[in-house]
Chain A
Amino acid sequence: MEDTIAAIATSVGVSAINIIKVSGSKAIEITNSIFKGKDLSKVNPFTINYGFIMENEEKIDEVLVSVFKAPKSYTGEDVIEINTHGGIACTNKILELLLTHGCRLAQPGEFLKRAFLNGKRDLLEAESISDLIEAKTSKARKMAMQGATGELSKMIKELREKLVTIISNIEVNIDYPEYDDAIVYTNELLDKNILEIKESLSKILEESEKGKIIKDGINVGIVGKPNVGKSSLLNRLLNEEKAIVTDIEGTTRDIVEGKIVINGITLNLIDTAGIRETDNLVEQIGVNKSKEIIEKADLIVAMFDSSRKLSEEDKEIIESIKDKKTITLINKTDLKQEIDLSMFKKEDIIEISIKNDEGINKLLDKIKEKFNLNEIDTSDYTYLSNSRQISIVKNCVSLSEEIYEANKNKVEVDLIQIDIQRLWEMLGELIGITYKEEFIDEMFKRFCLGK
Chain B
Amino acid sequence: MYEVIVIGGGHAGCEASLACARKGHKTLLVTGNINNIADMPCNPSIGGSAKGIVVREIDALGGEMGINADKSHLQIKMLNSKKGPGVRSLRCQADKTTYPLNMLKTLQETSNLEIKEVLVREIIVENGEIKGVITEENEKIESKKVIITTGTYLNADILRGHNKQKGGPHGEKPSLYLSQSMQDNGLIMRRLKTGTPPRVLKSTIDYSECEEEKGDQELLSFSNFYDPTYDIDKQESCFLTYTNKKTHQIILDNLDKCALYSGLIVGVGPRYCPSVEDKIVKFRDKDRHQIFLEPERKNGEEIYVGGFSTTMPEELQEELIHSMDGLHNAKIVKYGYAIEYDAIDSTELNMTLETKKIKGLYTAGQINGTSGYEEAAAQGLIAGINASLALENKEPMILKRNEAYLGVLVDDLINKGITEPYRLLTSRAEFRLLLRHDNADIRLTEIGRKVGLINDEKYEIFQNKLKNIDKITEELSNTYIEGNERNNNYLENISSSKLQGKVNALELLKRPEIEIKDIEFLTEKEYDKKAIEEVSINVKYKGYIDKTEKEVEKMLLLEEKKIPEDINYDNVRNIATEARQKLSKIRPLTIGQASRISGVNPADITMLLVYLKKEYPYE
Contacts and interface: CB of A to CB of B under 8 A. Distances in A.
Interface of A: 2, 117-119, 168, 171, 174-181, 409-415, 418-419, 421-422, 433-435, 437, 440
B512 A174 contact: no
B87 A174 contact: yes
A181 B286 contact: yes
Nearest to A429: B602
B290 A178 contact: yes
A409 B512 contact: yes
B427 A171 contact: yes
B49 A177 contact: yes
The 7 closest A-B pairs by CB, nearest first: A412-B84, A171-B427, A435-B605, A435-B602, A415-B84, A414-B84, A175-B425
Contact of A118 (B272, B283, B574): B574
B521 interface: no
B531 to A, nearest CB: 22
Contacts of A440: 606, 609-610
Given A171-B425, A435-B602, A178 B79 contact: yes
A414 B87 contact: yes
B360 to A, nearest CB: 36
Interface in B34-93: 49-50, 79-80, 82-84, 86-87
A181 B84 contact: no
Interface centre among A117, A174, A411, A421 (most CB of B within 10 A): A174
Interface string B508-541: 0000100000000000000000000000000001
Nearest to B51: A175
Contacts of B50: 175
A413 B286 CA distance: 25
B86 A175 contact: no
Given A117-B610, A411-B512, A415-B84, A174 B544 contact: no
B427 A415 contact: no
Nearest to B279: A181
A437 B80 CA distance: 37
B576 to A, nearest CB: 9
Given A174-B87, A412-B84, A437-B561, 11 more contacts: A117-B573, A179-B307, A412-B82, A412-B83, A415-B433, A418-B433, A418-B544, A418-B547, A433-B602, A435-B605, A435-B609
Nearest to B283: A181
A435 B609 CA distance: 10
> Which range contains the number of B residues in contact with the other chain?
35 or more
Contacts of A411: 84, 512
Given A175-B425, A177-B79, A415-B541, A434 B86 contact: no
A412 B551 CA distance: 20
A119 B561 CA distance: 24
A313 B336 CA distance: 90
B494 interface: no
Contacts of A422: 547, 551
A419 B426 CA distance: 16
Contacts of A437: 557-558, 561, 609
Interface centre among A178, A411, A433, A437 (most CB of B within 10 A): A178
Given A171-B427, A175-B425, A180 B290 contact: yes
Interface centre among A2, A117, A419 (most CB of B within 10 A): A117
A433 B609 CA distance: 15
10 contacts: A174-B427, A176-B49, A177-B79, A412-B82, A412-B84, A415-B84, A433-B602, A434-B602, A437-B558, A437-B561
Nearest to A168: B427
B86 A435 contact: no
B292 interface: yes
A413 B83 contact: yes
Contacts of B79: 177-178
Interface in B474-498: none
B98 interface: no
Contacts of A418: 433, 544, 547-548
Interface centre among B286, B430, B603 (most CB of A within 10 A): B603
A174 B607 contact: no
Interface in B259-301: 272, 283, 286, 289-290, 292
A175 B87 CA distance: 8
Contacts of A174: 49, 80, 83, 87, 426-427
A105 B512 CA distance: 64
A171 B557 contact: no
B595 interface: yes
A175 B84 contact: no
A169 to B, nearest CB: 11
A3 to B, nearest CB: 12
A362 to B, nearest CB: 50
Contact of B603 (A119, A168, A175, A178): A119
Interface string B587-619: 000000001000000110111011000000000
B427 A179 contact: no
A433 B548 CA distance: 21
Contacts of B426: 171, 174-175, 414
Contacts of B605: 435
A400 to B, nearest CB: 15
Given A181-B289, A435-B605, A117 B84 contact: no
A419 B80 CA distance: 19
Contact of B86 (A118, A179, A415): A415
Given A412-B84, A414-B86, A435-B602, A117 B49 contact: no
B536 to A, nearest CB: 14
Interface centre among A179, A409, A414 (most CB of B within 10 A): A414
Contacts of B83: 174, 177, 412-414
A168 B427 CA distance: 9
Nearest to A173: B83
Contact of A117 (B80, B272, B557, B574): B574
A171 B289 CA distance: 19
A405 B283 CA distance: 35
Interface centre among A2, A175, A413 (most CB of B within 10 A): A175
A107 B369 CA distance: 50
Contacts of A435: 595, 602, 605-606, 609
A413 B84 CA distance: 8
Contacts of A177: 49, 79-80, 83
B49 A175 contact: yes
